[in-house]
Amino acid sequence: MNIAQPLVGAGSYYGKYFLLEKLATGGMGEVFLARQEGPAGFEKILVVKKILNHLTENKEFVELFLGEARLAARMNHRNVVQVFELGEHQGTYFIAMEYVAGKSLREVVDAAGRRKERIPPEIARAIAEQICDGASYAHNLTDITGRSLNIIHRDLNPQNVLLGFGGDVKVIDFGIAKSEISTVKTEAGMIKGKFVYMSPEQSLAKPLDKRSDVFAIGITLYEMLCGQNPFHKSNIVLTLEAIQRTEPSPPSELDPALAPFDPILAKALAKDRERRYADASEMQEDLRRIVLPRASERMTGFLTRLFRSPV
Active site residues: 155
One-letter identity of residue 26? G
Element (H, E) at 121: helix 121-139
One-letter identity of residue 83? V
Q: How far apart are CA 252 and CA 8, in angstroms?
A: 51
Sheet holding 43-51, edge to edge: 13-14, 17-25, 29-37, 43-51, 92-98, 83-89
Q: How far apart are CA 105 and CA 101, in angstroms?
A: 13
One-letter identity of residue 41? G
Give the DSSP letter string of 232-280.
Answer: --SSHHHHHHHHHHPPPPPGGGT-GGGGGGHHHHHHHT-SSGGGS-SSH
**Alpha-carbon distance values, 167 to 65, 102, 248 (Å):** 29, 9, 30
Q: Which residues pair with 46 in a beta bridge?
A: 34, 98
